[in-house]
């Protein structure tokens, strides 16, 4: 059956997946954004819904310390004896494990794992559990290391042992994303090499014994490094699994590039069928594609429009770093947002900010807000955001005794737009295409008028490019600001591509 990649769109890198019966659960990286580690659910592999987040309470991890590109990296999800386990890395805290009987909620506080390296993974094998990362050994060569562990407490039960040094001739290798599997008579080790950009790939090795020695596969299982024209780049960092019908698959990260490899949407989650030859997994034709064929059992549905329900804090909303929760008042038919002293541009700020991942190159975002600022420099509206050093603001702003519609950019030279705003509520709209955003506003029920056309955010705006574009609401101002922002609607809807 034919389907389209990515299966989880927008900023959703480093996917990991597990199956329980006929249900599939997938997690991805979330970096400095809270809540952390989104959990997606599907019964058919191509239609996914976010059901929760593993890091759902502000006290679980110190998000207030997370600068852009820091925070949560590369989770792995596994299921064993009635519990789901997710392990990941939080920069400055280290590796940790959380567990829950219900993947939608109720995740434990993190237990720390005193093993260095990143991209941790767990293998449950018989009555034992094993933990692996890209911790280096005594020779300081890039490596994958393994230890036995108690996954409930994080206690390490053996000494770390290097089991593989990778297969790439590139230097540096960026040997990352290890997963160990026991399939038949073999232990398989999948990893990523080449870095998470143009040279990214999935490599593999196997052994009869979990501790090795591991024999490398002669070539990468997957890479799009020399495949311009496929509409896919950066393929790598995968997780292997078997569906309930006996078919094998991998989920992996890749981009839909807007230049030679970078995408302002970020790294997304792709799905490829896997076959076996000579006891080695074969991932499709070794290349990832947008349009694929696989042994599916249900049709893939188009993305549905997303509309805010202000009676609750929906799973999809993201804050940047640790939110000041008193600044967000969900009141059923509206959200009241208190302008923060911290600004979007603050490297360790906790701004009033609530956003969604941009799911498609072509999409539309609309909101209706009312804000009557009382203090100089107070502003509220929409932001197109990658990091504190790269974003657009499209807002109502107070300057002198006048309220204005303003558009400005942080991260590149840009001529701001500024014109007087009429009194009362305003509707703001962003129409996104592959290369640009067109911004509109409307007052008092009138038709939209175009305000500005701006280019998409670039690799220079994104820094290391670990995250992707979010579009959402924000409010910031001086300590003397007395009024709150009232938002009565927010929706995002996508074109098919």
Domain ranges of the chain: 2-293, 306-494
CB 451 within 8 A of CB 430: no
Mean local confidence (pLDDT), 48-71: 97
Burial (CB < 10 A; 0-12, 13-18, 19+), residue 62, is middle
Which element (helix H / strand E) includes 177?
strand 176-183
Mean local confidence (pLDDT), 330-336: 95
Mean local confidence (pLDDT), 181-209: 96
Catalytic residue numbers read 14, 176
pTM above the 0.95 mark?
Answer: yes
Q: Which CATH architecture has domain 306-494?
A: Sandwich (2.60)
Question: What does pLDDT average to over the chain?
Answer: 95
> If pLDDT is split at 50, 70 and 90, which confidence band does 260 have?
confident
Q: What is the pLDDT of residue 169?
A: 56
Q: What is the pLDDT of residue 497?
A: 45
CA torsion sign, 309 to 315 to 317 to 323?
A: positive
> If pLDDT is split at 50, 70 and 90, which confidence band does 281 have?
very high
Q: Which two tokens mark 24?
A: 């599939």
Residue 170 has pLDDT above 90, yes or no: no
Q: Which CATH architecture has domain 2-293?
A: 5 Propeller (2.115)
Q: What is the pLDDT of residue 494?
A: 87
Q: Which two tokens mark 338?
A: 């208190």
CB 207 within 8 A of CB 213: yes
Q: What is the pLDDT of residue 478?
A: 87
Task: Give dist(CA 345, CA 459) in Å, integer.
Answer: 17
Q: What is the pLDDT of residue 173?
A: 84
pLDDT tens per residue across span 111-156: 999 999 999 999 999 999 999 999 999 888 899 999 999 999 999 9
Q: Minimal CA–CA distance to 356: which of 385, 380, 394? A: 385
Q: Would you list the DSSP string of 55-122?
A: E-STTSS-GGG--TT-SEEEEEEEEETTEEEEEEEETTTEEEEEEESBTTB-PPPPEEE---SSS-EE
Q: What is the pLDDT of residue 132?
A: 98
Q: What is the pLDDT of residue 464?
A: 84
> If pLDDT is split at 50, 70 and 90, which confidence band does 96 have?
very high
Residue 235 has pLDDT above 70, yes or no: yes
């Amino acid at each position: 059956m034919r389907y389209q990649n990515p299966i989880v769109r927008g900023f959703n890198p480093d996917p990991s997946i597990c199956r329980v019966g006929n249900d599939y659960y997938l997690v991805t990286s979330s970096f400095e954004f809270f809540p952390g580690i989104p959990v997606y659910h599907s019964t058919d592999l191509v239609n996914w819904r976010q059901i929760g987040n593993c890091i759902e309470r502000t006290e679980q991890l110190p998000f207030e310390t997370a600068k852009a590109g820091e925070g949560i990296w590369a989770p792995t999800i596994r299921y064993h004896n009635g519990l789901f386990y997710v392990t990941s890395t939080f920069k400055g805290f280290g590796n940790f494990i959380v567990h829950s009987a219900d993947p939608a909620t109720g995740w434990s506080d993190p237990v720390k794992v005193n093993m260095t390296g990143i991209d941790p993974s767990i293998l449950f094998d018989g009555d034992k559990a094993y933990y692996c990362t890209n911790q280096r050994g005594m020779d300081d060569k890039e490596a994958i290391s393994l230890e036995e562990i108690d996954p409930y407490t994080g206690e390490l039960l053996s000494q770390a042992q290097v089991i593989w040094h990778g297969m790439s001739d590139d230097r540096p290798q960026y040997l990352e994303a290890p997963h160990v599997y026991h399939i038949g008579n073999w232990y398989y080790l999948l990893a990523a090499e080449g870095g998470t950009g143009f040279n990214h790939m999935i490599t593999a090795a196997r052994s009869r014994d979990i501790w090795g020695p591991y024999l490398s596969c002669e070539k990468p299982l997957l890479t799009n490094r020399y495949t311009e024209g496929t509409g896919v780049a950066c393929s790598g960092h995968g997780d292997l699994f078997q569906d309930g019908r006996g078919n094998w698959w991998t989920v992996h990260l890749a981009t839909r590039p807007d230049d030679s490899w970078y995408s302002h949407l970020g790294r997304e989650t792709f799905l490829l069928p896997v076959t076996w030859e000579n006891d080695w997994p074969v991932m499709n034709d070794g290349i990832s594609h947008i349009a694929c064929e696989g042994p599916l059992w249900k049709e893939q549905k188009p993305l549905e429009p997303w509309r805010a329900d202000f009676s609750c804090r929906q799973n999809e909303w993201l804050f940047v770093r640790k939110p000041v929760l008193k600044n967000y008042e969900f009141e059923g038919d509206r959200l009241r947002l208190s302008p923060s002293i911290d600004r979007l541009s603050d490297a360790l700020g906790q701004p009033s900010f609530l956003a969604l991942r941009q799911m498609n190159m072509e999409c539309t975002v609309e909101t209706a807000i009312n804000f009557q600022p009382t203090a100089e420099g107070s502003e509220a509206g929409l932001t197109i955001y990658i990091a504190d050093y790269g974003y657009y603001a499209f807002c109502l702003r107070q300057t002198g005794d006048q309220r204005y519609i303003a558009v400005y950019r942080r991260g590149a030279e840009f001529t701001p737009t500024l014109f007087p705003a009429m009194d009362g509520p305003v509707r703001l709209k962003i129409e996104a295409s592959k290369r640009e955003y067109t911004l509109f506003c409307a007052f008092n029920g009138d038709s939209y008028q175009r305000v500005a056309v701006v280019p998409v955010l670039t690799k220079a705006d994104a820094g290391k490019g670990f995250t992707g574009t979010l579009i959402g609401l924000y409010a910031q101002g001086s300590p003397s600001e007395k009024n709150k922002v009232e938002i009565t609607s927010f929706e995002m809807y996508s074109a098919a591509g």
